[in-house]
Chain A
Amino acid sequence: KAGVTQTPRYLIKTRGQQVTLSCSPISGHRSVSWYQQTPGQGLQFLFEYFSETQRNKGNFPGRFSGRQFSNSRSEMNVSTLELGDSALYLCASSLGDRGISGANVLTFGAGSRLTVL
């Protein structure tokens, strides 16, 4: 079955612009999580969406937002970009049903590498 698909894979923006990243989860997975990966900070949790609702949120400013559609596809948006937002943004999907063994196992996409100039 198809894996987690992220688009675009690479993008370059300038400070002050905004960006939208897309993630298509594995078929049947209802949970989509977003992580920011940087050399200095490692993998940092941004937020999780399950059945179109934000279920968890990390410690990022309000410039970072997301949403999930009825087909479980998710988008994340970063507004007013800063140089420090340059990172690899990883999306991960899982079944998401809490309490079911294996339902929280994450499968990552290849990521969207954002460079802010």
Chain B
Amino acid sequence: GENVEQHPSTLSVQEGDSAVIKCTYSDSASNYFPWYKQELGKRPQLIIDIRSNVGEKKDQRIAVTLNKTAKHFSLHITETQPEDSAVYFCAASMIETSGSRLTFGEGTQLTVNP
């Protein structure tokens, strides 16, 4: 089955700096890669996703890049703010067969220091 590895497990940055979280996946058939943000005591929320026919996607301060050949994808947050502090999870799936079955990375605790 699919296996997703996520690094780093913790990341501390100064407000205004950029943060990068990286994930690798094992199944070359995976074609959907969402990122979820989970604030302390709250539910995971989708912040951005990318499909395998796209190499990069941006949404304001957030961007995701995908390298299908190397089987890795990354989350980039620019101009970080204290409210970006949360645990971020990457995930992978193959839409046609896995449907809602996501394989998650183990999460990255991001702390943005004011």
Using a CB–CB cutoff of 8 Å, the interface residues on chain A facing chain B are: 31, 33, 42-45, 48, 50, 55-56, 58-59, 90, 92, 94, 96, 98-99, 104-111
**C-alpha spacing A45/B99, complex, angstroms:** 12
Using a CB–CB cutoff of 8 Å, the interface residues on chain B facing chain A are: 1, 32, 34, 36, 42-46, 49, 89, 91, 93, 95-96, 98-107
Assess whether A98 is in contact with B96, with CB atoms less than 8 Å apart: yes
**C-alpha spacing A96/B45, complex, angstroms:** 18
Assess whether B101 is in contact with A48, with CB atoms less than 8 Å apart: yes
Q: A48-B100, A98-B99, A99-B95 are in contact. List 19 more A-B contacts (CB 8 A).
A: A31-B99, A31-B100, A42-B89, A42-B106, A56-B100, A90-B44, A98-B96, A104-B93, A104-B95, A104-B100, A105-B34, A105-B49, A106-B46, A106-B100, A106-B102, A107-B46, A108-B36, A108-B43, A108-B45
Residues from chain B with Cβ under 8 Å of A108 in the complex: 36, 43-45
**C-alpha spacing A63/B95, complex, angstroms:** 28
Assess whether B105 is in contact with A96, with CB atoms less than 8 Å apart: no
**C-alpha spacing A55/B42, complex, angstroms:** 27
CB nearest to B51 among chain A residues: A101
Show 30 A/B contacts (Cβ-Cβ < 8 Å), sorted by A.
A31-B100, A33-B101, A42-B89, A42-B104, A42-B106, A42-B107, A43-B89, A43-B102, A44-B104, A45-B101, A50-B99, A55-B99, A56-B98, A56-B101, A59-B1, A90-B43, A92-B100, A98-B95, A98-B96, A99-B95, A99-B96, A104-B32, A104-B95, A104-B100, A106-B46, A106-B102, A108-B36, A108-B43, A108-B44, A110-B42
Residues from chain A with Cβ under 8 Å of B46 in the complex: 105-107
Assess whether A48 is in contact with B43, with CB atoms less than 8 Å apart: no
CB nearest to B44 among chain A residues: A108
